[in-house]
Chain A
């Protein structure tokens, strides 16, 4: 079974631009979560989607948004990029939102903002 895929793997943007990252979950997984990973802050939860609805949201500004499509694929968007948005963005999928389910992570998208 194919794992979680994320595109693109690497991205370089300038301040003020916007970016869209994509995540395809494992087949049959309906929950997708997004995380931001930085050396200083560790893994920070962004949001979780299930059945095209946002079920949970972390403490990030409104510049960070996401959505999920009917095939469970998900995108996240960051508008008006800031230098501090440089990070590894990880997507994780699971069968559902139950705490019984472990998450399966993609390789991440490395975003660099200059």
Chain B
């Protein structure tokens, strides 16, 4: 069964420092990986996705993610964190073949400290 894991419930980082939010996925077929962000009392917003090709994917608001097949990871990164980046981040996976549902991780709360 497809699954993603976000091992950290919360990540704290100082403003201006680089940030990483971790995500690992189960190995089953060809995964398509996504990152979404959720601000308080809002729905989720799409940040970026990995389909195929270049392992480094660039997305919205300066975020990027690195697909690592050998480590089955898809970590979200940003070179310099902003206070406004504080939010809940979700990793998601969907596999090819038939009608596969999207599976979301449990979410990681990012707190950027001024």
Residues of A within 8 A of B (CB): 4, 33, 35, 42-43, 45, 48, 50, 55-56, 58, 90, 92, 97, 99-100, 102-108
Contacts and interface: CB of A to CB of B under 8 A. Distances in A.
B49 interface: yes
Contact of B43 (A45, A99, A105): A105
Interface of B: 32, 34, 36, 41-46, 49, 51, 90, 94-96, 99-107
B46 A45 contact: no
B34 A45 contact: no
A4 B34 CA distance: 19
A55 B100 CA distance: 9
Contacts of A103: 34, 36, 44, 46, 102
B102 A33 contact: yes
Contact of A100 (B36, B42, B51, B99): B51
14 contacts: A33-B102, A43-B90, A43-B104, A43-B107, A45-B101, A45-B103, A48-B101, A50-B99, A56-B99, A90-B43, A92-B43, A103-B34, A104-B46, A106-B43
Nearest to A58: B101
A99 B42 contact: no
B46 to A, nearest CB: 4
A60 to B, nearest CB: 12
B106 A45 contact: no
Nearest to A3: B43
B43 A48 contact: no
Given A42-B106, A42-B107, A43-B90, A99 B44 contact: no
Contacts of B99: 48, 50, 55-56, 97
Contacts of A50: 99
A92 B44 contact: yes
Contacts of B45: 105
A103 B38 CA distance: 13
B23 to A, nearest CB: 14
Which 3 pairs of residues, A with B, have the shortest CB-CB distance? A105-B43, A99-B94, A99-B32
